[in-house]
């Protein structure tokens, strides 16, 4: 070729190299985004195997081509020698034909030398490059596979550890449940005392301790596993893939250069070879290293990234009465030392990791990107663990301790041991634990209901008997003592800075007295008991709680230096807060969601009442829901709404005292008197329910559970609406805590589908209540499951009228069951309609 052609060709090569570099630097596509699945990893390995086989094929072909070119050059030399051999040379020395022939033979020899030279260059240089490329690709594949297996093995190990830990958790949970049932059996059912109860109790405590410890280990392990997975998926594998992709693309650059070199050496001047070279060159030019693996990535893109699920299994803590929380470390007397030791273990590891990642570390520059990514992932994992631990320890503080396990905060110790009586880690005061008192007398079942459970092996606090040492005045007699009123109710009462009250709480089956103060928010302080039986916060100790509170008010000193809270205004009990001892429990007449319902009597008036009790062992959240009914009822006064008399929160169990409605449940009444009840009586029942619901609607109260089972029948068959446990005092309520315990067949479609409750949802339920009344206690949507009934309602199905239902009443039911809420009547309209129907019956 001419010099001009050579120059143009050189410019083309430089342009291609520049374009290749630009595309590599732009990183248009990346392995880290599409190749994280197992299938993609195997596809990548398979692709590399195919490339190695292609390199082997190229090497064999090039070797054969070199041999052929050498043989061809030898043949041309023989032809040239043969052509120049002439026995009659002298005679042909001046012959033009002979001269031309000799020139042609010389060109043949020159062509032979050119073929031989090109073959030797390819053999010595190009073929060596192919062999080197093949070796380097094998080495890179091996390194990648080792690194990939090492990274994924870390993830596999943590997954296996999570599964083992969860299995251990489940086994320990079973052991805990078994020991708890044995303990309850010995203590509650049989009521036996003595050494056997103490042995069972001791085993129960040890099972509880092991459960909490394995819970904490499981929580931290999940946190670690989640971080490891995130690091593997977001950092380690992407770093490995990015590094490997860079290597592979550099191989493609070398590969392309080799093929370019071969194409140039195999080029010939004839038109046939030029055509072959052009076609070969065109094929070579189609190689763009940055796009080499696009098809592989696109095929695997649809598979997504396979993440493992490291969410906490809530079933593990369902039976712990809320004392163990998902994804939350339990910090109490059983675990606080373990948590603190864990923090001391994690902190130096995190500091070392941060120092290794510091720019001041001279070894940092020598690390490859995979090693740096591993260090950063380790730093994030340790940082996250430390945040979880510090958050749990910070919440402990000097205030009321978080829920713990099923034994007291101050467990019985040997006389030579000392324990901290202040939950504030800054206060290092330690006092010896007093010796236990003699065992109590055997309690009755009703006594257990009326007073909180006491551990026999641990001395009861003087507050447990409601009396303080050194005074005959009971703590219950103080207006600012609110008994076991839940924290949420306390927060509602304390509105101004310095407002305070005293209450009791049960932690781990042991009573604790708590001072609640409004001061920069709401703060709660446990009253500490000294070894001498006195009471204190951070200051001096006093013989009685009353003296301690009086000192805090008169001195105007902060309860604790950390909180700065000062007592100003005592908040007295509300008028509807009754004393538990003023109520006498009688026969059991029913069972509620949170405890049993008893018939009882008020000592002051000798009035018979109905008493709802809340089991001592239920979670604090359920106690709040239990008291919600009392909080709603205390402000209502209507003949068709069951009346609240008061709430007993001075001690456990919490009780709601209501008027005793002698007829019992409307559902039971209808079924019992199905043969004798008249149509007029049934309409009157519908009228009473409508009147009660109109009153609730005027108060912006959404009942959410209106049904015959939740209505009561009083004197002269008057119907009263009851059971406000699911009620809400607002115009619209959106359910955000799931749809558990929802009465499907009584609930409006918009509430089931979207969780949106209004008083028009109660209108739908009222239509179902009317159907129940005229069906005389029948089950709505007979023969249908909940899901089937819901499906048919959405499709337009409505229940037919029960036998004997007046046509006007059925039309009212259908209006209540309009699918669109705005088409349903309000309760003032419903009451007018029912009263008009009654008027036509007279």
322 backbone φψ class: left, alpha, beta (φ>0; ψ -120 to 50) = left
Whole-angstrom distance, CA of residue 89 vs CA of residue 98: 9
Handedness of CA 277, 283, 286, 292 (dihedral sign): negative
| 499 classed as catalytic | no
> Nearest Cα to 661, choosing from 585, 721, 748, 733?
721
Whole-angstrom distance, CA of residue 218 vs CA of residue 324: 12
Beta strands in 381-440 (DSSP E): 418-420, 430-432
**Residues 6 or more apart from 374 whose CB is under 8 A from it?**
236
Structure tokens at 801: 């009228």
177 C-beta neighbours (distance < 10 Å), count: 14
Whole-angstrom distance, CA of residue 555 vs CA of residue 612: 42
Whole-angstrom distance, CA of residue 122 vs CA of residue 70: 11
> Nearest Cα to 837, choosing from 781, 779, 770?
770
Whole-angstrom distance, CA of residue 358 vs CA of residue 639: 76
| Backbone torsions φ then ψ of 262, nearest 5 degrees | -60, -45
Element (H, E) at 674: none
623 contacts 616 by C-beta, under 8 angstroms: no
| Backbone torsions φ then ψ of 743, nearest 5 degrees | -75, 95
Asked if residue 653 has a cis previous peptide bond (ω within 30° of 0), the answer is yes
Whole-angstrom distance, CA of residue 598 vs CA of residue 655: 10
Indicate the SS3 state at residue 613: strand
Measured torsion, CA atoms of residues 525, 531, 533, 535, in degrees rounded to the nearest 10: -30
Q: Residue 612 annotated as binding?
A: yes
Which of 499, 705, 723, 762 is an active site residue? 705
- Which residues have a catalytic role annotated? 705
**Known binding-site residue numbers:** 612
> Binding site for ATP: which residues?
612
């Amino acid at each position: 070729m001419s010099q001009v052609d050579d120059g143009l060709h050189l410019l083309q090569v430089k342009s291609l190299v520049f374009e290749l570099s630009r595309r590599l630097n732009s990183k248009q596509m990346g392995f880290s985004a599409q190749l994280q699945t197992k299938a993609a990893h195997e596809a990548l390995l398979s692709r590399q195997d195919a490339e190695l086989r292609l390199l082997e094929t190229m090497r064999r072909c090039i070797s054969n081509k070199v041999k052929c070119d050498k043989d061809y050059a030898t043949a041309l030399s023989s032809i040239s020698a043969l052509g120049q051999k002439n026995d009659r040379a002298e005679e042909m020395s001046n012959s033009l034909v002979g001269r031309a022939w000799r020139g042609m033979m010389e060109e043949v020899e020159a062509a032979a030398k050119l073929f031989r030279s090109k073959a030797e260059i390819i053999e010595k240089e190009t073929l060596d490059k192919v062999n080197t490329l093949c070796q380097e690709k094998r080495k890179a594949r091996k390194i990648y596979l080792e690194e990939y297996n090492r990274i994924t093995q870390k993830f596999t190990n943590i997954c296996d550890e999570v599964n083992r830990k969860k299995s251990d958790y489940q086994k320990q949970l079973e052991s805990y449940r078994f020991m708890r049932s044995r303990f309850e059996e010995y203590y509650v059912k049989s009521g036996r005392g003595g050494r056997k109860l103490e042995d069972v109790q001791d085993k129960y405590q040890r099972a509880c301790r092991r459960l909490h410890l394995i819970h904490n280990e499981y929580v931290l392990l999940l946190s670690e596993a989640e971080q490891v997975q995130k690091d593997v998926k977001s950092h380690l594998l992407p770093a490995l893939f990015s590094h490997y992709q860079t290597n592979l693309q550099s191989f493609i650059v070398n590969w392309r250069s080799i093929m370019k070199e071969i194409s140039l050496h195999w080029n010939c001047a004839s038109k046939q070879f030029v055509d072959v070279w052009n076609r070969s060159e065109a094929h070579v030019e189609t190689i763009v290293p940055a796009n080499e693996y696009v098809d592989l990535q696109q095929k695997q893109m649809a598979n997504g990234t396979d993440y493992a699920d490291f969410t906490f299994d809530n079933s593990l803590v369902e039976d712990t009465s809320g004392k163990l929380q998902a994804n939350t470390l339990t910090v109490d007397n059983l675990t606080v030392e373990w948590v603190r030791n864990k923090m001391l273990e994690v902190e130096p590891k995190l500091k070392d990791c941060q120092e290794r990642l510091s720019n001041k570390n001279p070894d940092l520059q020598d690390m490859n990107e995979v090693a740096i990514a591993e260090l950063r992932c380790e730093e994030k994992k340790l940082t996250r663990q430390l945040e979880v631990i510090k958050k749990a320890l910070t919440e402990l503080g000097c205030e009321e301790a978080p829920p713990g396990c099923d034994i007291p905060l101050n467990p019985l110790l040997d006389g030579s041991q000392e324990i901290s009586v202040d939950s504030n880690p800054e206060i290092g005061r330690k006092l010896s634990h007093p010796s236990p008192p003699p065992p109590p007398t055997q309690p009755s079942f009703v006594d257990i209901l009326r007073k909180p459970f006491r551990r026999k092996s641990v001395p009861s606090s003087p507050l447990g008997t409601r009396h303080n040492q050194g005074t005959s005045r009971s703590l219950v007699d103080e207006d600012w003592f609110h008994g076991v009123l839940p924290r949420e109710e306390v927060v509602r009462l304390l509105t101004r800075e310095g407002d305070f009250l005293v209450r009791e709480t049960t932690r781990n089956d042991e009573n604790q007295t708590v001072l609640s103060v409004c001061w920069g928010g709401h703060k709660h302080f446990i009253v500490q008991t000294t070894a001498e039986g006195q009471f204190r916060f951070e200051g001096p100790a006093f013989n009685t709680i009353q003296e301690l509170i009086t000192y805090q008010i008169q001195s105007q000193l902060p309860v604790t230096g950390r909180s700065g809270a000062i007592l100003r205004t005592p908040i007295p009990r509300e008028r509807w807060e009754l004393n538990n001892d003023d109520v006498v429990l009688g026969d059991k007449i029913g069972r509620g969601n949170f405890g049993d319902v008893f018939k009882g009597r008020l000592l002051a008036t000798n009035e018979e009442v109905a008493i709802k009790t809340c089991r001592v062992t239920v979670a604090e959240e359920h106690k709040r829901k239990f008291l919600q009914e009392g909080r709603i009822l205390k402000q209502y006064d209507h003949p068709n709404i069951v009346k609240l008399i008061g709430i007993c929160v001075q001690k456990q169990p919490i009780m709601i005292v209501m008027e005793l409605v002698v007829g019992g449940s409307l559902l039971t009444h209808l079924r019992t008197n199905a043969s004798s009840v008249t149509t007029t009586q049934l309409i009157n029942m519908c009228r009473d329910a409508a009147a009660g619901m109109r009153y609730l609607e005027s108060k912006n109260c959404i009942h959410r559970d209106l049904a015959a089972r939740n209505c009561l029948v009083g004197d002269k068959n008057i119907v009263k609406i009851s059971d406000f446990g699911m009620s809400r005092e607002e115009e619209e309520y959106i359910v955000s805590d799931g749809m558990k315990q929802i009465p499907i067949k009584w609930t409006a479609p918009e509430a089931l589908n979207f969780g949106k409750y209004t008083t028009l949802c109660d209108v739908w339920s009222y239509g179902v209540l009317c159907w129940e009344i005229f069906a005389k206690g029948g089950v709505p949507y007979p023969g249908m499951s909940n899901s089937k009934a819901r499906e048919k309602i959405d499709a337009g199905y409505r229940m037919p009228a029960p036998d004997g239902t007046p046509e006007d009443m059925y039309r009212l039911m259908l209006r209540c069951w309009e699918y669109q809420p705005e088409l349903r009547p309000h309760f003032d309209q419903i009451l007018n309609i029912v009263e008009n129907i009654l008027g036509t019956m007279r």
